[in-house]
Structure 1
Amino acid sequence: MKTAHLKKWVALATIYLLDFTFIFAQGGFQLTHFTDEDGLPQNSVKFIISDNAGFIWLSTEDGLVRFDGYQFTTFSKNDLHNSSNRMQAFYRFKHELFCYSADYEPIKIEDGHASITNKPSGWLEQQIDLNVLPKGIFKNNFQDGARYLSDGSINMNYGKKAQFKELYILSQQDSLFRYDNKQFSVFYKSKLIHTFPYTTKADWRFFMLNHKLFSLENSGRVSALSPKIIKTRLKGDILQSTSFKAKKTDIKVLWNICVDNHVILYMDKSFYLATLDTTDHITTKMLFKGFDAAVENICSAYYNKQSGQLFLGSSTKGLFVLKPHLFQTITAQYGENIYGPQIEYQPNKILTTGNRSFDFSALPKISISHGANTPLDFISLAKDHPTGNFWAVRRRWLYLISAKDLHKIAQWQMPISINAIYQDKLDTLWIGTINGNLYTKSPTDTTVHHYIKFPDRITFILRAGPYDLYVGTLKGLFQVNLLSKTSHTIANLESASVRNIFKSSSNEIWVATYGDGFYLLKQSKAIALPLDREQYLRTPHYFIEDDQGFLWIPTNKGLFQVAKSDLLSYVNNINRHNEPPFYFYYDKESGFKTNEFNGGFEPTATQTSNKIWSLSSMNGLVLFNPDKMAPLLPTSGLYLDNIIIDSQQVDRKDLTALSEDFSQLRISVCTPFLGNHKNLQITYALIENGSKDTIFYPLEDKGKITLSRLTYGKYTLIVKKEMALAWIILVL
């Protein structure tokens, strides 16, 4: 992908990077549950963190586990050459990440790899420079019976107050807090700075936030702990909880010791992101609701701000990942939820299939009602611009419907069933029938007049200029000259089944077909655009355009977002070497109830006055605001995982060991990506020295490349990743 186009995508993702609680009902999520059946070595996930490259790391009872968003890789004692597979907590020291085994062995994590370090006994205490720590507390799994070193672990069913006489809390700023149920002692680089009294009847719910120590009481009151104890209350979304209002709170603190800029609060099966504002008050924001952390024995948590995903480790049930819904799908309680044409008949009110009216004026609340007088099975709608009313079609009948109370104002009967209607900017109504006849009705005439005949059913009508009318049919796209009243077919679309014709804000004409992909009209010829890797774009339904320069294309297999500039660049360079556009893909994980959108009618989608788009699908109306979407892009690096030559592993950091004579070479690459893996596009090319042709092939099989029995010569292997400008180049 060209750098200019990459910048457009990254800029879009950056604008709304942290906005994962949209204007709709908060808390909706996609739940994914991983166990030992999915690649975990076992089901105790005790601690979770991410490394500098973006990989997620899990501490388990049977190894250190890396998660790239798709698959798990376990680093056992056989890989690390240490003595124990039982892993403990993660710690950061001077921007370096370490995990400790049960035998007190520091394991360094960097760039997606783990390696045992040759650190002497007591190295951790030396790193922190805190001689006040009880001797051996690290070696004894962070506790010695009476004293406890806080590691950020969580227990949903009880606190730690009754278990220990002393609590030690580490800060990433070389500080240590010691609590003995009566007072706090604060140390900095082994020196006692000050002490202050503090008692609490609650379970120990201490946590660090922005290098400051806090305590959460049962009442929901928060204390900032320093020589002067400052009591305050939580702010934000958690105040809306009925339990919090009734002071029947049992708030759990999901504190990750390696994360200092936020904590997660849990109450009433809901998770809240807690951050410190500029006035040192803790503000909460609802993330997810409807997950029972106590039932699932949750003991560890990590919130990834970039993706908006919450990773929850269970002491017995593996890993749970909660992903935010980017779209909201609404369905009616009764009747079919297959939706067809829809129109905004009043501000923020949509009328659609089954005579249902949806009111979006009081979001996030959405109300549903039924119109009393409109036809129940209309197949096409069009706004009547002069009056503000709208046209509706039911078989052979054309109706004018009042936008005020949805009653029928007037009606016309056609000789045969109508399939498409369209009102142009001059207020002329165009009517297409199932046998290819095109009719017109002017705003000043009560009569419908025949205009021209086409060879098959009319599917779509669009006026593109003063004298140009495009008419789509089941067998071809036609351009009509309104002066001469003649038509001709568009080259390359002579037999296409036209689904939709769209004129963009920059006046390009885009055409969606059923089964043949989509096209751009240029100089009276249709130019085919490349399809996505799975070829889902072979059946596009229609186009919508947002204010950021992107087209959105619903299909039978999900929804695509593509930069219009990418498409135009491809068309303008079609006769030269040209990279295909990057299609960003959304499916049910993003909040749809089905991947199958609906089309073949008009309007297929409607934008309300408050900027919400409503898309018709085969199971509900899909709502979203494209200008507030934050696509999770695969922009992280590409890493060489391992190299195996004829069954012998080669040090990935020492490529001088590559033999000039081998029968088989196996190379594995890895990259972290927490989004939909259909958006992860990694390709590779093997180029023989002197060759002018470079053909890149999709990298499948979980990042593995196998080369066997190459003819003698010099080769260059290139692995590249779209959207990341990341490359791996090996000379063989």
Structure 2
Amino acid sequence: MFKNLKLIFFLFFIPMHAQNYSSKWYGNGYDNGNGEDLPQNSIKDIIKDKYGFIWVSTKSGLLKYDGRKFLLYKDFDHVFGGDFFGNVDKDSIVVSDGRNERSIIISGRNPAWSKNNNDNNFLIRDNKNRYQRLIKNSLLNDLTVDFYYIRIGSGIYYLNKNGYIEFENKKKLKKENINFKYTEKNLKNIFSYDDYLFIAEPEQRRTVLFHEGKVYYDNTPTLYNDPKTTIYWHQATGQVFILNRGNIYISNWIQHTLVLTHLVKYENIEREFSTSMFYDEEFGKLYMGTLTKGLNILTLSKFYTSQKQIPYTHESVYAALPYSKNSVITEEGFEYYRDKIKTVFPYRLASDSRTLLYDSSHNLLYESSAMIQRRSKKSGFIKKDSLPLSHEIKAIFRSGNENMATGFDEKVIRRFLYFFTDKNFTHIKSKMEFPSAVNIVMSLNDDFLYVGCTDGLYLISVKRNKIERKLADNIAIKNIVKTKDGNFWVTTYGDGFFFLNNNTLFKLPNDRNNYLADAHMILEDHKSNFWISSNNGLFKVAKKKLLSYVKDKKKIVNYYRYTTEHGFLNNEFNGSSTPGANILEDGDFVFPSMEGFVFFNPDEIKTYFPNRDHIFIERASIDSKPIAFKNNLSIEGTYKVADIYIDIPYYYKDIENTYMEAKFEKDMEGEWKFINSDRKYTINKMPPGKYNLLVRFMISEDGTFAYKKVGVEILPRFYETFLFQISVIVLGLIIIVYLIKIRTNFLNKKLKKTNHTLTITKVKLKNESQYQQKLVESISHDITSPLKFISLLSKQLREIDSPSIQKEYFESIYESAEQLYKFTLGLKSYTQLYKESIHIESDEYVLYNLVEEKILIFQNIAKQNGTFIENICDRNLKININRDVMGAILHNLIDNAVKHTVKSEIIISTEIGDSYVEIKIADKGTGMLKEQMDYYADLLQGSDEFKDYGLGLHMVVQLVKKINSQIHFQANIPNGTIVSVSLKSTTIKT
């Protein structure tokens, strides 16, 4: 404990300062430099052209910087880090090649080799001496030449090695001696303004002034002639810097008086050995180049980050209270100013209190260890005690006339809000219960309060000690701010921020990156601008824009975001504290952050926007090939991707504050798209035509946009040109006419062929009609055979008296008649086979059974002839060929066999092969003549000849053709005929 006290008291004597700049290195691996932006670390000179671009001379070439990227000009391979000269206002900057042999002219934002030898005139010769131009563009001050000259408005000053100075008036063109002798050591302290030349003499603590060849002395000790001062003078920019004890000043000549303005305290200036320097007043950037470490860009800021800077202690801060007109005090006992820190009382450094209040005696009250702690002002806040409460306290609040504290009971989940009788928090007068933690309380009037909880927003009545309404649900309230106009504004945990009016929340738009979804605290300046802290930057917005948005959701709200680019040490601010920020008597705003308290006066903080005329669209990359253009860009139709670069000297990495958008339009149609920090617009494959690329960006915080338009023409490929299209149309018409002619000839030929076919078909139809007529006659003839048999048996029956024979005849007649009856039942379908197209396939059936049916018709006839019919077909063979067709074929073949076979046998069998099945009907009758067999074979192949060999086989051949099968006739040895019908195997199932 004693050691800790010693440390804290020791801090009273430790000087602590606030930092008001951020630093970014560019180079090959030094500090934060990533080595990707600069070719190497040797920086010789820095200058800014009239268009706002920064130019850097290095030992590896010439660089142009637009605030985002360094563009290396590789066409000047003999540039070895020369110095910049020339006239910026006249758009003529000259840089030598490092050997003073050739010069480069930078004009119109682009460098080119100089065609004028006078641009490289670094030497002046007279009868005796050679004078070299004095170059003070370096802090090294390595002046090793005997004779120098300095050219200013009224003439030329010649500096001789003996220490004497001569002046040549440009009107008289005559040298005149000046009664002054300089020392070589003091040449490093020389600089000029307009027609005035200055030399500081630290040994005598005086400053010598030369004007039109006359010398004047100022014996006043100043920083100019301080022995600890280093003077940097850049002839081209006219800037003069004074470096003294880690402080950097910029000098100005105002009403014939030298005036110094402090820029920044930078302790490392001597260690980093800067060789060149440029201050961009417009954007508050200080560029420092070195020969070994690269380029360091300091963003000078009016934001001051105040830190305690105690070793091994974090800088994260939360609640603080105004302590003096320009400082705040924390629970830890530190008093923070914008530029220093003091310790008010010793205290442990590990505390993390989120609420801090003064009581009626101006004692400090805060929550610690679940109790309200009090530090006595009378003791200088050294003495402390805790207030005697029987409840565990989480936070304390004061709003309006009410003094409150939130507490919790470990036995239940619900939270309590306690109301106290006075500012000293000594007695509890009432309490209210809430379903979740209370984060903030804000007074509406003497009776009503807004209570923000983790589950929503409540309206409560103090007088009735009850919750009146729940105004919002499922929103975690972080803070409620009441502005000077009486309006309320609400921040939340992750749900954005709201305008609260008449107990209704109105959602306000987030920034384009949604950082305001987790806004912390809102402070209003005297110009009615809101300053909103967040986890990623500080935002500025005009209150009137937010109120306009509440009335009309179509209104655009533009936020200006401040980040480390503007001088913060860290982008993350802290919230969830009471108070969440403070406004001091001197006008300073104080916000807590992860790196200490950020102080600033809103009137001193600038918003940085590009100049209306400083946007240039003149570079592109077509399929990774860079090109330059003016006003209009032509792209070959064969391209794959085109990038159009938007060059704008805006010296912040992220251009979100400019709200830059681009629209690629044709016929005034197109959609605005945000331009990212790469500052380019990509055109993917588009149809040929003329387009416009319209770019807009914000140039002031009132939302004013500037516009820039360039024409883009995507050239058609050869087959997309108008001439090619006309040629294609003409060729197409010729082809169409030719095709019509070919088609006409083809149709005529086809018509002739069709007429010929119709003629043949007509003949065939006629033959078919005759053929069918003969087939019907054949059917009648085939029916006659069984009828004739029945008639014959009937006649014999009359002549025979034997009852047994009569019975036999009767049975034969009956059986034949019955089979004939069955045959005639199918006669209708039988005849249809010749009138309509038939379905070849049908349901499966057993072939053996069909053969048996046909045998029954002719069995009695065969029996009378002494002929035996045997069916030895496969009993399991199933086929799905149309049953009527197969029945007709078998009927006629068996009929024909019975007619020509007497006292013999007829055998019907089947033979099953790999790809076929044959039905064979073999008889041993009289047989067929070879002439008949050949005739039927020819008939099967399509012969139109018709011979009267019996119509039954004609019908069989016709039906066999219909089912796409084959029939063969061959002689049976020694006598008779074998008829084979071959069926396709796809129709057979066994």
* The two structures share one fold, judged by TM-score above 0.5: yes
- Name the amino acid aligned to 2:27: T
Q: How does 1:598-637 map to 2 (within 5 A)?
A: 598-635=574-611, 637=614
Q: Provide the residue aligned with 2:174 in structure 1.
A: 192
Partner residue of 2:494 out of 507, 510, 515: 515
After TM superposition, the structure 1 stretch with the greater mean CA deviation from structure 2, 184-193 or 636-645, is 184-193
Q: How does 1:545-560 map to 2 (within 5 A)?
A: 545-560=524-539
Task: Give the direction of change, closer, same or farther, for the CA distance of 1:121–1:305 in structure 2 (3 Å limit).
Answer: same
Task: Give the direction of change, closer, same or farther, for the CA distance of 1:415–1:170 in structure 2 (3 Å limit).
Answer: same
Q: Provide the residue aligned with 2:880 in structure 1.
A: none
What is the CA–CA distance in structure 1 between the aligned matches of 2:256 and 2:18, rounded to whole Å? 26
On the 8 A contact 1:684/1:717 being kept in 2, the answer is no
- Name the amino acid aligned to 1:489: K
- Name the amino acid aligned to 1:353: E
Q: Provide the residue aligned with 2:724 in structure 1.
A: none
Q: Provide the residue aligned with 2:648 in structure 1.
A: 671
What is the CA–CA distance in structure 2 between the aligned matches of 1:190 and 1:666, rounded to whole Å? 57
On the 8 A contact 1:686/1:718 being kept in 2, the answer is yes
- Name the amino acid aligned to 1:394: S
How far did 1:208 drift?
Answer: 1.2
Q: Provide the residue aligned with 2:187 in structure 1.
A: 204
Q: Provide the residue aligned with 2:949 in structure 1.
A: none
Q: Provide the residue aligned with 1:476 in structure 2.
A: 456
On the 8 A contact 1:215/1:222 being kept in 2, the answer is yes
- Name the amino acid aligned to 1:519: F
Partner residue of 1:230 out of 203, 216, 220: 216
How far did 1:328 drift?
Answer: 2.3
How far did 1:224 drift?
Answer: 0.3
On the 8 A contact 1:688/1:714 being kept in 2, the answer is no
Q: Provide the residue aligned with 2:149 in structure 1.
A: 168
The structure in which a higher percent of residues are strand is 1
Task: Give the direction of change, closer, same or farther, for the CA distance of 1:660–1:686 in structure 2 (3 Å limit).
Answer: farther
What is the CA–CA distance in structure 2 between the aligned matches of 1:723 and 1:397, rounded to whole Å? 52
Unaligned runs of 5+ in 2: 1-15, 29-34, 409-413, 713-990
Deviations 1:471-500, CA, capped at 9 Å, x for gaps: 10011112235566442223xx41111111
Deviations 1:273-297, CA, capped at 9 Å, x for gaps: 222243534546353331244x544
Partner residue of 1:53 out of 48, 51, 62: 51
Task: Give the direction of change, closer, same or farther, for the CA distance of 1:234–1:489 in structure 2 (3 Å limit).
Answer: farther
On the 8 A contact 1:429/1:442 being kept in 2, the answer is yes
How far did 1:460 drift?
Answer: 0.1
Does residue 448 of structure 1 match 2:424?
no
On the 8 A contact 1:345/1:389 being kept in 2, the answer is no
Does residue 84 of structure 1 match 2:78?
yes
What is the CA–CA distance in structure 1 between the aligned matches of 2:90 and 2:444, rounded to whole Å? 59
On the 8 A contact 1:585/1:679 being kept in 2, the answer is no
Q: How does 1:181-580 map to 2 (within 5 A)?
A: 181-188=163-170, 191-192=173-174, 194-201=176-183, 202-205=185-188, 206-219=190-203, 220-226=205-211, 227-232=213-218, 238=223, 249-260=227-238, 262-283=239-260, 285=262, 287-293=264-270, 295-325=271-301, 326-331=303-308, 333=310, 335-344=313-322, 350-354=328-332, 356-358=333-335, 360=337, 364-370=339-345, 378-384=353-359, 387-389=361-363, 391-398=365-372, 402-405=376-379, 406=381, 407=383, 411-424=387-400, 427-434=401-408, 435-443=414-422, 447-481=427-461, 485-490=466-471, 493-574=472-553, 576=554, 578-580=555-557
On the 8 A contact 1:264/1:273 being kept in 2, the answer is yes
- Name the amino acid aligned to 2:229: I
Equivalent residue of 2:550, what SS? helix
What is the CA–CA distance in structure 1 between the aligned matches of 2:669 and 2:459, rounded to whole Å? 43
- Name the amino acid aligned to 1:339: V
What is the CA–CA distance in structure 2 between the aligned matches of 1:646 and 1:397, rounded to whole Å? 68
Equivalent residue of 2:125, what SS? coil
Task: Give the direction of change, closer, same or farther, for the CA distance of 1:190–1:529 in structure 2 (3 Å limit).
Answer: farther
Deviations 1:630-681, CA, capped at 9 Å, x for gaps: 3444446221141244566554215264557754322111111224536554
Equivalent residue of 2:268, what SS? coil
- Name the amino acid aligned to 2:406: G
| Greater Cα radius of gyration, structure 1 or 2 | 2
Task: Give the direction of change, closer, same or farther, for the CA distance of 1:486–1:43 in structure 2 (3 Å limit).
Answer: closer
On the 8 A contact 1:340/1:353 being kept in 2, the answer is no
What is the CA–CA distance in structure 1 between the aligned matches of 2:601 and 2:106, rounded to whole Å? 39
What is the CA–CA distance in structure 2 between the aligned matches of 1:39 and 1:305, rounded to whole Å? 23
On the 8 A contact 1:420/1:460 being kept in 2, the answer is no
Equivalent residue of 2:24, what SS? strand
On the 8 A contact 1:342/1:353 being kept in 2, the answer is yes
Does residue 34 of structure 1 match 2:26?
yes
What is the CA–CA distance in structure 2 between the aligned matches of 1:648 and 1:408, rounded to whole Å? 73
Task: Give the direction of change, closer, same or farther, for the CA distance of 1:584–1:625 in structure 2 (3 Å limit).
Answer: same
Equivalent residue of 2:181, what SS? coil
Percentage of identical aligned residues: 21
On the 8 A contact 2:523/2:530 being kept in 1, the answer is yes
What TM-score, normalized to structure 1?
A: 0.81
- Name the amino acid aligned to 2:93: F
- Name the amino acid aligned to 2:489: W
Task: Give the direction of change, closer, same or farther, for the CA distance of 1:452–1:465 in structure 2 (3 Å limit).
Answer: same
Does residue 113 of structure 1 match 2:110?
yes
Does residue 101 of structure 1 match 2:96?
yes
Task: Give the direction of change, closer, same or farther, for the CA distance of 1:564–1:230 in structure 2 (3 Å limit).
Answer: same
Q: Provide the residue aligned with 2:757 in structure 1.
A: none
What is the CA–CA distance in structure 1 between the aligned matches of 2:101 and 2:547, rounded to whole Å? 58
How far did 1:29 drift?
Answer: 3.8
How far did 1:411 drift?
Answer: 2.5
What is the CA–CA distance in structure 2 between the aligned matches of 1:715 and 1:589, rounded to whole Å? 38
Deviations 1:26-71, CA, capped at 9 Å, x for gaps: 8754332222523223333222110112111112233221111221
On the 8 A contact 2:492/2:518 being kept in 1, the answer is yes
Q: Provide the residue aligned with 1:151 in structure 2.
A: 135
Task: Give the direction of change, closer, same or farther, for the CA distance of 1:116–1:26 in structure 2 (3 Å limit).
Answer: farther
How far did 1:199 drift?
Answer: 0.8
Deviations 1:340-367, CA, capped at 9 Å, x for gaps: 322235665643233x13164xx74431
Equivalent residue of 1:77, what SS? coil
After TM superposition, the structure 1 stretch with the greater mean CA deviation from structure 2, 281-290 or 654-663, is 654-663
Unaligned runs of 5+ in 1: 1-23, 136-143
Task: Give the direction of change, closer, same or farther, for the CA distance of 1:229–1:26 in structure 2 (3 Å limit).
Answer: farther
- Name the amino acid aligned to 1:655: N
Equivalent residue of 2:545, what SS? helix
After TM superposition, the structure 1 stretch with the greater mean CA deviation from structure 2, 147-156 or 479-488, is 479-488
What is the CA–CA distance in structure 1 between the aligned matches of 2:660 and 2:403, rounded to whole Å? 50
Task: Give the direction of change, closer, same or farther, for the CA distance of 1:487–1:27 in structure 2 (3 Å limit).
Answer: closer
Task: Give the direction of change, closer, same or farther, for the CA distance of 1:414–1:563 in structure 2 (3 Å limit).
Answer: farther
- Name the amino acid aligned to 1:351: I
Deviations 1:587-613, CA, capped at 9 Å, x for gaps: 386143x43322212112233333333
After TM superposition, the structure 1 stretch with the greater mean CA deviation from structure 2, 400-409 or 197-206, is 400-409
Q: Provide the residue aligned with 2:124 in structure 1.
A: 133
On the 8 A contact 1:634/1:680 being kept in 2, the answer is no
Equivalent residue of 1:191, what SS? coil
What is the CA–CA distance in structure 2 between the aligned matches of 1:658 and 1:467, rounded to whole Å? 71
Task: Give the direction of change, closer, same or farther, for the CA distance of 1:645–1:726 in structure 2 (3 Å limit).
Answer: same
On the 8 A contact 1:277/1:283 being kept in 2, the answer is no
Task: Give the direction of change, closer, same or farther, for the CA distance of 1:458–1:123 in structure 2 (3 Å limit).
Answer: closer
